[in-house]
């Protein structure tokens, strides 16, 4: 059973949406948006960090919707690691904080400490409508507000939740922004 599955995987085409070389012609069935994004992302990541950036995700009050879609970036379809982007378990290892949710009062200190624990240069991406503008939770005693009311935000990716493709697009924008910017 296992041998058959592995053997088949060995000879099968990858499920991943291919990341075309600049000189390669697009394949039928490629998601054009994803392929374009992937290519651009890879090039700017290389310019800035050599080959990679590392992300620490922080849920500061999200409904878990954004987390599901951020998770999807790691599945074999989107497979962000091929672009040199990976998720780390510790803010000490991170270049980028991906923050979701309207920041709750109960998470404010944890977010501040996570930010402080991240070495510079660092960037903060606010993911989702709640992180961007506090969403439907704005009028509550329990929320501080959007992410930028607690830590400085470099980029906002809106959507409720943003699709994985939007997240990729956002990360690309960040890289372009970051390449033109001095160390904070």
Stretch binding other proteins (CB under 8 A), from 18-26, 82-90, 149-157, 174-182: 82-90
The residue within the footprint of other proteins, chosen from 52, 74, 148, 176 (CB under 8 A), is: 74
Stretch binding other proteins (CB under 8 A), from 36-44, 46-54, 59-67, 176-184: 59-67
Rounded alpha-carbon distances, angstroms, from residue 38 to 32, 131, 136, 153: 10, 25, 32, 23
Kindly state whether residue 40 participates in binding other proteins, applying the rule CB under 8 A. no
Kindly state whether residue 47 participates in binding other proteins, applying the rule CB under 8 A. no
Confirm if 108 and 46 have CB atoms less than 8 A apart.
Answer: no
The residue within the footprint of other proteins, chosen from 104, 123, 126, 147 (CB under 8 A), is: 104
Kindly state whether residue 37 participates in binding other proteins, applying the rule CB under 8 A. no
Q: Count helices and strands (H / E) in the chain.
A: 6, 7
Q: Judged by CB, which is closer to other proteins: 27, or 90?
A: 90
Residues of the chain by 3-state class (helix, strand, coil), percent to 5: 45, 15, 40
Tokens describing residue 54: 């590392």
Q: Calculate the CA 70 to chain-centre distance.
A: 6
**In whole angstroms, what is the distance from residue 80 CA to residue 94 CA?**
15
The residue within the footprint of other proteins, chosen from 38, 161, 167, 175 (CB under 8 A), is: 161
Stretch binding other proteins (CB under 8 A), from 19-27, 37-45, 134-142, 171-179: 134-142
At its nearest, how many Å lie between other proteins and the CB of residue 93? Answer: 11
**In whole angstroms, what is the distance from residue 97 CA to residue 76 CA?**
23
Alpha helices, H only, the chain: 2-11, 32-49, 65-72, 105-117, 129-133, 164-179
Q: Judged by CB, which is closer to other proteins: 40, or 72?
A: 72
Give residues in contact with other proteins (CB under 8 A): 1-2, 5-6, 15, 57-72, 74-78, 87, 89-91, 101-102, 104-110, 114, 130, 135-137, 139-143, 160-161, 163
């Amino acid at each position: 059973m296992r041998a058959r599955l592995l053997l088949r995987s060995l000879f099968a085409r990858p499920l991943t949406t291919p990341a075309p070389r600049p000189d390669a012609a697009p394949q039928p069935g490629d998601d054009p948006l994803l392929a374009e994004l992937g290519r651009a992302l890879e090039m700017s990541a290389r310019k800035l960090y050599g080959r990679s950036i590392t992300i620490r995700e922080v849920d500061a009050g999200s409904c878990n919707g954004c987390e599901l879609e951020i998770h999807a970036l790691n599945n074999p379809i989107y497979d962000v690691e091929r672009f040199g982007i990976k998720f780390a378990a510790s803010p000490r290892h991170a270049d980028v904080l991906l923050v979701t949710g309207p920041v709750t009062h109960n998470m404010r200190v944890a977010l501040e400490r996570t930010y402080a624990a991240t070495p510079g240069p660092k960037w903060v991406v606010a993911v989702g409508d709640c992180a961007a503008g506090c969403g439907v939770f704005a009028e509550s005693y329990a929320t501080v507000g959007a992410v930028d009311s607690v830590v400085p935000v470099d980029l906002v990716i809106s959507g409720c939740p943003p699709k994985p493709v939007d997240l990729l697009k956002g990360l690309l924008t960040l890289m372009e922004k970051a390449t033109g910017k001095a160390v904070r």
